[in-house]
Structure 1
Amino acid sequence: DLAVEAFDAAIAARPDFIGARIGRVECLAARGSRETAKEESRRLIEQYPDSAEALLAYATLTATRDPAGALASLERASELAPRQLDVRKQTELLSLMLELQLVRNELEAARTTAERMARLLPGSPIALLASSRVALAKGDYTSATTELRRVVKAAPEFAQARFLFGVALAATGNLEQASTELTQAVRVAPELAEARQFLAQVRMRLDDPDGALRVLVPALESNQGSTRLNVLFDAAVAQAGLDTATIALLEEQLIRNPDNEALATQLAASYLHAGEPERALKMLDGRQAQGFESRREAVRLQALLATRGREAATRHALNIVEKFPNEPSAVILTASFLAHTGDLDGARRHLAQAVREDRPVPELSLALARIHVIAGRADEARRVLGQLLETDPTQERARIALAELELAAGNKARAREHLKHAIEAAKASVPARLLAIRLALDSNDVDAAQGELEEGLAAGANAFELNAGAGSAFLRHGRYHQAIAAFQQALAVDRSAVSLWFALGRAQMALAQYTAARDAFETARELRPGWLPAEGALAFLELQLGERDAALRRVEALKAERPDDAAVFALEGQIHASLREFRAAASAYDAAAARELTALIAVNAYQARLASDLPNPTEYLEKWLEQNPGDLSVRSVLADAYTRLGNRQKAIAQYEILVDKHPKHAAWLNNLAWLYF
């Protein structure tokens, strides 16, 4: 604020002082007023279209939302830069240009920019780094490795170079050496989250999940709330196995890092997943954590629900929102818990109280709209989203939410209109493009879907995210050739994406490309050793090839390795069910449910028992709903099950609950009407 005041004084004394005006823009952005900064920057380049520094400032502010426009500004600035900017500023300009060109997959343009940087800073580590990044993007890992080796030799403490060197080595299969280089990068720059997370992935590929956990522990404190970090940590815990040794490792790390609240939350979550909710609760209650942290309180609510029951957990959820009424994430957590336990009215009430119509908080408005949708109140959801857009027409998520709402209601024309506005406002928006692709595929227009993908990439959308999302959409709609092409494009950007190798294998398997599918699944398994989806896919591939015994041997080996893992026994049930061995499937699902009951296990167990004429087929559906009364999908299965079994009154009771939650659900209303007669 003091800097803004100083720049204002300088501008008042000399209105044409462009340096002061750019300084003011940078200060506004630094304190969070990015929209104001962006508008002032836009006016600045209108007034001074030939100022390289003004163009650079504008591009820096708009790079995320409008990469194509930012790149155009940078290209003009780069023409002016040699006469106007010093070497430091020129380096900043070329670095941002390179970044955007790589994001847009404009590899030839990126190569030209790297060459310009080499001429500006011949032989320097930063120029070599730029060249190596282009080589990495092209998949030329040999050249990238050679150049990065030169960089780290010339500048041993250049952490970013060591990180990329590790990435290149991992891509060529040199995992041990990659681990060494990434360890050095983390030593030099312990705050470099990307290096720490990639090192953890490499350690997991080396079948060293304990090492991965040790690497991730310090990142938990500095990156609390990072979804990617929490997912990676959970994956490492899963690979290590939720046994006493893994939990002892986490306990040991907490003793060494007693103030690491995020680690304490992870340990509590591990207790919870290991079937020890009482220990999880004791761990959290024994901490003196200050303020509100969403993941910690979510774990506490799950532990309370498991140990003290719904009433005690609900009291705590309500206490959260009373204690932190002005914290949007606290209100959203409470509402989500109430919705999960079946109290949609309570969830809606708390969110509605928190949403201010004159100045709505986007996260709260979007959460309220979701609850309205779950409750079958589409008109109310439209109203909430409309209010948000009236206050802030640039709210992309609200536009997309409205488009999804109209699409779900069958109003494709309205959905297209909302998407048109969203894409006009942000041509490189990945969520908007993906919804447009889905809309086209729902209309069986593959060419239009492919066109949306290509236009999004041309506009500068993130190539990895858009190709990955488009591939998933093509896969869901049975367009396997297009799915394979999109997944391969995404993997050309990031070959370490385990889920994409898995999805690629599914698409190839659907086209009977069994050798390619096996390679894809094996790659996924290599990237994440012990990952059950990959093991399961390989088992089903073996079944497809008539190798029944090989598939069952694979499952037996998994059971021996992971005797307490419910998912392994559920996989065994799925394999027996696919072979129409329903009694064996039911037995496997019993074993799975004894370890951990999930919605999918409950539904599959019901189907297996029904198919094999075993008694009490609805047992697990009923147990699941006792613990999760808000799960309307499972309740719908139970209602249908009672109808099939001739339990008319029980079926009516279930459909009445469903219709109370969704008064306009045509199928449930129709089924209930028939049961009444």
Structure 2
Amino acid sequence: MATPPFNIRRSPLMLAATLAFGLGAGSAIAQPLERARAAQARGDLRAAQIDYRNAVRAQPDNAAVRMGLAQVSMDLGDPDTAEREARAALERGFDKAQATALLMRTYLARGRFRELLRDFPQVDEPAALAAQIAAARTFAELGLNQRDAARASAEAAVRFAPDSADAQLAAGTVALAAGDRAAAEAAVDRALAADPTSQEAQLRKASFQAERGQIPMALETLGKLITQAPGNVSARVLRAELLIRTGQEQQARPDIDAALRIFPSHPAATYLTALMQVRAQDWRAADETLQRMGAALPMLGDALLLQATVKRALNEPGQAEDAAQRYVARRPDDARGAKLLASLQLERNRPDAAAATLTRLAQRNAADAEAMDMLGRAHVAAGRPREAVIAYARAAEMAPNDSGIRARLAAARLASGDSRGTSQAATESLRLAPEQSGARELLAIAALARGDITGAQAEYDRLTPEQRKGEAAGTLEGLLALSRFEVQPARRAFEEVLRNHPESIGARLGLARVATAEGNPVLAERLLVEVLQRAPSHPEALGRLLATVMSGPPRAEPALIALQAAHAAAPNDPQLAITLATAFGAMGQPERGLAVVDTPELRRAGQGPQLPLTRSQAYAALERWPEAEQAARAALADDPTFFPARRQLLSLLLRNGDQRGAEAMLEEALRTQPANAALQQLLLVTVRENRGLDAALQLADRLAGVVTMRPASLSLRGDLLMAAQRPAEAAQAYAAASRIDASSTLTLREAGALRAAGKPQEALALLSTWLQKEPDDIGALNLAAQIDIAAGRNDAAERLLTRLVEKAPDNAVALNNLAWLLQERGRPEDLQRARAMSERAYFLMPGPETADTFGWILSRTGDRDRALVLLRQSASAPRARGQAPDPGKVFRYAATLNAAGQKEEAIKVLEPALAGDAAFPERAEAERLLAEMRRG
């Protein structure tokens, strides 16, 4: 607790007269006393204390000299000497009220609150003494958090001596503790009216003025106080702080020096010294100064924050983060501390920890726009674009004129798959800053994400020649070429970006896509490793390498080696470690996967549930069941809503035969997440496997009756019956649920059940009725088109798919299916329409199916070179272990090879596909082609 505001009224003339009366004019003590008073007058309290000590030695029974030594010792922060001398002054007859007041100050300075209340019981008279005791008891009771008692004591102090500055200050302190700053300042004003020379009252008045931003008035108040009492260290430190705050460091220096001369280890003055050194960027000196504060450092305002800043500048990140953590623990509502801590965590590649720090700040409603912006960056770095969107959107609300935040919001929306939201945010960013290129490029990329290649090109064309020299614009140029499957121009664009921007991630990813399209997986993998060396958590690079491992030979082992190389460069990156461990698991090497994720750094708390889940999966693969269960529970403790961890724990409980515990665990989860469809399904599957279908059906009916579990629970009975191969009954269950609460989900499931039950016409009728009510239902349009295609009604399917594409122009599946139907008609105009659609579908969803459609249409329209690249990619795409290549895709690749004059290669490709008896629609045509090629 800070030293409380007790001031003994001291009149220099009265004190001089008292001393002269006690000592005599010719006393040998006169010179030390004169020196002591002179030293006090100029603020040299150390010299004054020495002279008072000499005077005490000369005349130990002089009460006034003892009192002078007590007072100066108290001002020097020496309460032990002050207590001893104040008692001596009392014993020798000094004014009881004044001496008792100083004695009680020594108790308060050392936190001896209970002893003060015991040693100084309240008296009623004389009034001056009673007021001083009541005021001191006020502070002791506040120190013990006895607020009602403190209020009563303060009221008593004012009652005993309404014109006492100390009594009014006690009342003001009670008001301040209650949060009533207006009443507290009014009490200070009354104290000043009672005693304009009260040092504590002047100091408090200056503090209130500073809080209101009235810095010049506060400096004027402090100037008067320091002129009156040059040795008042608190006043000098406060004035120095205000001068530094207003950029007047040179004017602050004399006050800091004076405070440190009086009190060499004064924490606040030492802190201000370090602050000035930081402003001068003298980091080493600031560090040494802060170290001198010792145990006082954590107790002083922003000192821990300053220490974290200094340690960061000295490249001592561990100590910087420790200091920032301690500051945040003490002041969790201060956004400055949370932002500094989060930035340190981000610098140490721990985005999950940074996100947790900033989320806690936001939950306390203490986050500002900068903090929410930083939270968005942390989520992006952790691979959580949806959470990033929420954070950036909140930041944009707080700072509506910040174009940069809008641009980052656009980028996060793009990463989360919301291309239209991307366009909206990027457009707003451009409105705020029309000259920027970043938002324009995001608009183009958002258009590409929707498959709107024409719109993307239009945005690119709006860039100035200077803007097109940038990394993002160059990458965009390559992507535009790639979207049209112009492989060579795309490569040239990406290579140009790399020449000008050697660290570009986007250009490397583009070149990796080009390499894949050209059938060069070795180059693609090397480029993906280079991406991971620069961005260890990059989702596309990790995903592509992991998918290659999962596909099996021949590329699984090289892709695994590539992941290991990336991990060696960043062993503590959580997402990279998780991916490598998963890859080891897929290769049947769980012990190596466990070693990757079971390190001290990756075991630290606050890194998300995926790491402990990955450990659990590795333990389970090694049949280390207790550790597997413990790790799964750790994942759930980190995030109780993390469904994969819940599913993992369920499987472990069931393996141990704990069926009751498994069901209880899921029911407990549903109590906090009643509408969670995945949890409901998991519980039903568990009950069905453990207690049979009838028990599961009974539970499904019970869950469907709980309103808080809807709408997901309404489909449970039908889902169980479909899994039991009873589609007709399932259709009836879905229909009954629809009568309770009709929805697209229930309609689609009922139609699917009718189709599985051999009633496609009823399914189509149901969908047609639903589409009359909800004409924009994408799922219903798609399912109806599939039913028509299966029935050979291509014209009807084409009409439905056309409607679907109009409503969802970025639906790659619909685009691909419609393009296939159009190309089957074979007319030139249909082939041109199909070509544009398939190009767009492939760009939106590059994969074997879209590559096959796009490549075949290119082949049929005479663009065989580009067609061969796509069809080779489709025919040789990674597939499940043991699965043979799709013979239809192989036939189209072989036909194109033959048409391009590569007959021998075509025969080599087609023969294995026809070696067996696999049936496929083009088999007769493929056999005829092979026979023709063999005949030459």
Normalised by the length of structure 1, the TM-score is 0.52
Q: Distance in 1 between matches of 2:571 and 2:882?
A: 31
Correspondence for 2:114: none
1:430-488 CA-to-partner distances (Å, cap 9, x unmatched) read: 321343366569x786999987764434225248755426759999xxxxxxxxx9998
Asked whether 1:502 is paired with 2:883, we answer yes
Asked whether 1:189 is paired with 2:573, we answer yes
Correspondence for 1:252: 627
Correspondence for 2:803: 421
Correspondence for 2:308: none
Q: Is the 8 A contact 2:851 2:874 kept in 1?
A: no
Q: Distance in 2 between matches of 1:408 and 1:158?
A: 43
Correspondence for 1:433: 815
Correspondence for 1:58: 443
Count of aligned pairs between the two proteins:
473
Residue pairs, 1:644-659, within 5 angstroms: none
Asked whether 1:345 is paired with 2:728, we answer no
Correspondence for 2:700: 317
Match of 2:782 among 373, 393, 400: 400
Q: Counterpart amino acid of 1:303?
A: T
Change (3 A) 1:53 1:211: closer
Q: Distance in 2 between matches of 1:497 and 1:266?
A: 27
Q: Is the 8 A contact 2:525 2:559 kept in 1?
A: no
Change (3 A) 1:410 1:214: farther
Correspondence for 2:664: 285
Asked whether 1:489 is paired with 2:864, we answer no
The secondary structure found in structure 1 opposite 2:883 is helix
Match of 1:384 among 755, 759, 770: 770
Segment of structure 1 superposing worse, 34-43 or 425-434? 34-43
Q: Distance in 1 between matches of 2:569 and 2:691?
A: 46
Correspondence for 2:69: none
Change (3 A) 1:161 1:98: same
Residue pairs, 1:583-662, within 5 angstroms: none
Q: Counterpart amino acid of 2:456?
A: L
Q: Is the 8 A contact 2:474 2:497 kept in 1?
A: yes
Asked whether 1:76 is paired with 2:461, we answer yes
Q: Distance in 2 between matches of 1:216 and 1:113?
A: 38
The secondary structure found in structure 1 opposite 2:774 is helix
Q: Is the 8 A contact 1:403 1:415 kept in 2?
A: yes
Change (3 A) 1:75 1:435: same
Change (3 A) 1:343 1:65: same
Q: Is the 8 A contact 1:433 1:456 kept in 2?
A: yes
Correspondence for 1:559: none
Q: Is the 8 A contact 1:331 1:350 kept in 2?
A: yes
Residue pairs, 1:206-245, within 5 angstroms: 207-208=588-589
Q: Is the 8 A contact 1:416 1:436 kept in 2?
A: yes
Q: Is the 8 A contact 2:529 2:565 kept in 1?
A: no
Q: Distance in 2 between matches of 1:94 and 1:519?
A: 43
Correspondence for 1:298: 681
The Cα shift of 1:65 comes to: 2.2
1:180-223 CA-to-partner distances (Å, cap 9, x unmatched) read: 2254478443235xx84576346534x436656898999xx979
Quick one: percent identity of the two aligned structures? 16
Q: Counterpart amino acid of 1:121?
A: H
Correspondence for 1:107: 487
The Cα shift of 1:107 comes to: 2.5
Q: Counterpart amino acid of 1:56?
A: E
Change (3 A) 1:507 1:165: closer
Q: Distance in 2 between matches of 1:433 and 1:39?
A: 24
The Cα shift of 1:281 comes to: 5.7
Q: Distance in 1 between matches of 2:416 and 2:845?
A: 31
Correspondence for 1:354: 741
Q: Which has the higher contact order (CA 8 A, sep 6+)?
A: 1
The Cα shift of 1:304 comes to: 1.8
Q: Is the 8 A contact 2:815 2:837 kept in 1?
A: yes
The secondary structure found in structure 2 opposite 1:400 is helix
The Cα shift of 1:517 comes to: 8.2
Q: Is the 8 A contact 1:269 1:280 kept in 2?
A: no
Q: Distance in 2 between matches of 1:38 and 1:354?
A: 35
The Cα shift of 1:497 comes to: 1.8
Asked whether 1:174 is paired with 2:554, we answer no
The secondary structure found in structure 1 opposite 2:885 is helix
The Cα shift of 1:506 comes to: 4.8
1:36-64 CA-to-partner distances (Å, cap 9, x unmatched) read: 77468679999999974553343344443
Change (3 A) 1:413 1:250: farther
Q: Is the 8 A contact 1:422 1:432 kept in 2?
A: yes
Change (3 A) 1:41 1:382: farther
Q: Distance in 2 between matches of 1:149 and 1:29?
A: 24
Residue pairs, 1:658-669, within 5 angstroms: none
Q: Counterpart amino acid of 1:489?
A: L
Q: Distance in 1 between matches of 2:631 and 2:497?
A: 45
Q: Distance in 2 between matches of 1:284 and 1:99?
A: 50
Q: Distance in 2 between matches of 1:151 and 1:408?
A: 44
Q: Distance in 1 between matches of 2:408 and 2:535?
A: 34
1:482-530 CA-to-partner distances (Å, cap 9, x unmatched) read: xxx999836638966224983426559999x998689899xxxxxxxxx
Unaligned ranges ≥5, structure 2:
1-392, 637-643, 857-865, 895-905, 920-936
Change (3 A) 1:326 1:210: same
The Cα shift of 1:72 comes to: 1.3
Q: Is the 8 A contact 1:163 1:185 kept in 2?
A: no
The Cα shift of 1:313 comes to: 0.5
In terms of Rg, which structure is larger? 2
Unaligned ranges ≥5, structure 1:
11-16, 225-229, 476-484, 522-536, 542-677
Q: Is the 8 A contact 1:148 1:164 kept in 2?
A: no
The secondary structure found in structure 2 opposite 1:174 is helix
1:526-577 CA-to-partner distances (Å, cap 9, x unmatched) read: xxxxxxxxxxx99999xxxxxxxxxxxxxxxxxxxxxxxxxxxxxxxxxxxx
Correspondence for 2:311: none
Q: Distance in 1 between matches of 2:766 and 2:559?
A: 53
Q: Is the 8 A contact 2:403 2:432 kept in 1?
A: no
The Cα shift of 1:297 comes to: 3.5
Change (3 A) 1:148 1:47: closer
The secondary structure found in structure 2 opposite 1:421 is helix
Q: Distance in 1 between matches of 2:424 and 2:840?
A: 22
Q: Counterpart amino acid of 2:813?
A: P
Q: Is the 8 A contact 1:4 1:28 kept in 2?
A: no
